[in-house]
Structure 1
Amino acid sequence: MYIQSATEPGDSGHPNEDFCATAQPASGHGGALVLLDGVTPPAGDDGCVHGVPWFTARLGGALLELSGSLTDVPLSECLARAITRTAASHRTTCELSHPRTPQATVVCARWSEHTVEYLVLCDTVLLIRHQDGTVRPVLDDRLEQVLAAARTAPPGGRAARVEGLRNAPGGFFTAAADPAVAHRAVTGTVPRAEVRALAALTDGASRWTEVFRLGDWTRLFGVLEEAGPHGLIARVRAAERADPAGTVHPRGKIHDDASALLALTGG
């Protein structure tokens, strides 16, 4: 795999809550990528003395290590173990039962000579470009389903309705302190020979398609291949600046942390 990545905070005065990393053995026959998007908590106490950037770095690093070293263990179990390890590292100092304890959305992919495995949890995105040129998005759309349903609720109750379905049956799931959510992730395997390239995006980068509607997933992949992850993020920033109040393209944050990763098989 030939890999390019970029990550950029939405606000230069605020730490980047994304995590983006890859690992490849010296043989070059396998590897793994991990992309996390930390969930920004509301203003106030979230029960943790460390903060979201610390959490995503710990969880992302543990997941990268485990997915790269435990090649016979499913990615969902690697994520469960990474959550357990991260929770143990701050259980004595932080209130992990707090509903907004630090948490993140997750994309992980792992490849060998023969297969490509993947895991997606919440609204991060994995794109698979097949050898015939088609692009297949791997999406966990449960958050979008919850948000769509919440739009029918009275304005004052929408936020509470969404929060009530976070990490709950019938709702959506993020990686926080409970390892059981790892087994709620969208997972799968495809033959390595069928894969030309992979792309992983946090929702700050995927808004090029999902919010600004500048092109479908195939066109987004083309931007990544032509301009690289930095070029995609630059285009997202330009779209954000063109709609500074979010009136044309409503969004929770005018500028969000954005991360993108492109991995080419060379085939």
Structure 2
Amino acid sequence: MLRVIPAVPTMRVDACSVAAPGQPDNEDQTLQYGDLVAVLDGATAPAGFDTGCRHGPAWYVRRLTARLTLAAATAPADPLAALLAEAVRAVRGDHDGDCDLGHPGTPSSTVCLLRRTSGHLDYLVLCDSPLIVDVAGQVGVVADDRLAATMDRLWQREPPATDTRQEADYRRAVQWQRQHTNTPDGYWVAAADPAAADRALSGTLPLTGPGRVRRAALLTDGATRAVDLFGLVDWPGLLDLLATAGPAELIRRVRAAEAGGDSSAGGDGSAGGDGHGGSDSTVSPATVPGHKRHDDATAVFCLFDGG
């Protein structure tokens, strides 16, 4: 008897990563190596706070991306958490002896990984760079919200002095965040401890059959602003925008919204008519507590054909 082996869907990838306006370095990075794709977002070092390290977040995220690529080349079948742990361990060795890797402000990065295999997708999400997936027409979000939950506990326990949060509130928030970095009662991020990789959200999704993944997006929080800060689109609308206009157009609209302009102008004409709120934005990040006016923005869109 002949057995029909279903074809493995192809994966088409479109990516864009743009530094925040006026910033010399992009602290976001993308990775595509074979069937592995990723986005990483380095944590900006707050002004006036020591990090214990002479290297900045841009250096760290670039090294981590390079080490992830090497780990994937060396052991392509290893679990994603094992690849990330090996990459973090290797970057520890890339620091020189003057760096205090036990310092709570040591350079760190979020990580979102997606890997196509013979019939499924493996994913890993660590800290606030989410994965958006279209599974059989239903859009879902794999998001690690432990950082946000940690900071919410601070503000509930010690409310800010004003609605706009003054310098004292900002410094208190940074100190609180550092106290709870890579701790069981806080949040986890790729930094100097390889054990953080095992605390990531991970799983497997089908690539064949009626319940298969059709589209996916890996995003840094500079790109998720289109949904969670400005409300330009919802998550299904974001995937539709990426499919029709691409990641560069998504980021262009975020920049327009940050500047207070019309985020729906230009493009391929799909902005205002996609039914998901692609309209003028009157929200300025400068007026929203906890948000920078601009941020590095990165989006990777994956389309799976066949299956």
* TM exceeding 0.5: yes
- Where 1:151 maps in the other structure, the secondary structure is helix
Identity percentage over the alignment? 39
Cα drift, residue 18 of structure 1: 0.5
What does 1:84-233 align with in structure 2 at a 5 Å threshold? Answer: 84-130=89-135, 132-152=136-156, 153-155=158-160, 156=169, 157-193=172-208, 194-233=212-251
Superposition TM-score, scaled by structure 2 size: 0.80
Runs (5+) with no aligned partner, structure 2: 1-10, 161-168, 261-282
Alpha-carbon spacing, 1:42–1:240, altered in 2? closer, same or farther (3 Å): same
- Where 2:295 maps in the other structure, the secondary structure is coil
Query: Cα deviation per residue 1:9-57 (whole Å; 9 max; x = unaligned)?
Result: 1133331101112112xxxxxx001210000011243222221111101
- Where 1:253 maps in the other structure, the secondary structure is coil
- Where 2:249 maps in the other structure, the secondary structure is helix
Cα drift, residue 158 of structure 1: 3.9
Superposition TM-score, scaled by structure 1 size: 0.91
Aligned letter for 1:124? S
Bigger proportion of residues as helix: 1
Aligned letter for 2:145? D
What does 1:42-121 align with in structure 2 at a 5 Å threshold? Answer: 42-44=46-48, 45-121=50-126
Aligned letter for 1:4? D
Alpha-carbon spacing, 1:139–1:87, altered in 2? closer, same or farther (3 Å): same
2: CA distance, partners of 1:123 / 1:233: 18
Alpha-carbon spacing, 1:262–1:80, altered in 2? closer, same or farther (3 Å): same
Query: Cα deviation per residue 1:212-241 (whole Å; 9 max; x = unaligned)?
Result: 122321111111111100010011111111
Query: Is the CA contact (8 Å cut-off) linking 1:34 and 1:63 kept in structure 2?
Result: no
Alpha-carbon spacing, 1:88–1:106, altered in 2? closer, same or farther (3 Å): same
What does 1:228-239 align with in structure 2 at a 5 Å threshold? Answer: 228-239=246-257
- 73-82 or 37-46: bigger deviation: 37-46
Query: Is the CA contact (8 Å cut-off) linking 2:33 and 2:69 kept in structure 1?
Result: yes
Q: Tell me what 2:43 maps to.
A: 39
Two-structure CA RMSD over aligned residues (Å): 1.7
Q: Tell me what 1:28 maps to.
A: none
Alpha-carbon spacing, 1:245–1:6, altered in 2? closer, same or farther (3 Å): closer
Runs (5+) with no aligned partner, structure 1: 25-30
1: CA distance, partners of 2:42 / 2:304: 28
Aligned letter for 1:144? A
Computing the radius of gyration over CA atoms, which structure comes out larger, 1 or 2?
2
- Where 1:189 maps in the other structure, the secondary structure is strand
Aligned letter for 1:20? T
Query: Is the CA contact (8 Å cut-off) linking 1:103 and 1:174 kept in structure 2?
Result: yes
1: CA distance, partners of 2:96 / 2:198: 22
- Where 1:213 maps in the other structure, the secondary structure is coil
Alpha-carbon spacing, 1:175–1:149, altered in 2? closer, same or farther (3 Å): same
Alpha-carbon spacing, 1:251–1:154, altered in 2? closer, same or farther (3 Å): closer
Query: Is the CA contact (8 Å cut-off) linking 1:204 and 1:256 kept in structure 2?
Result: yes
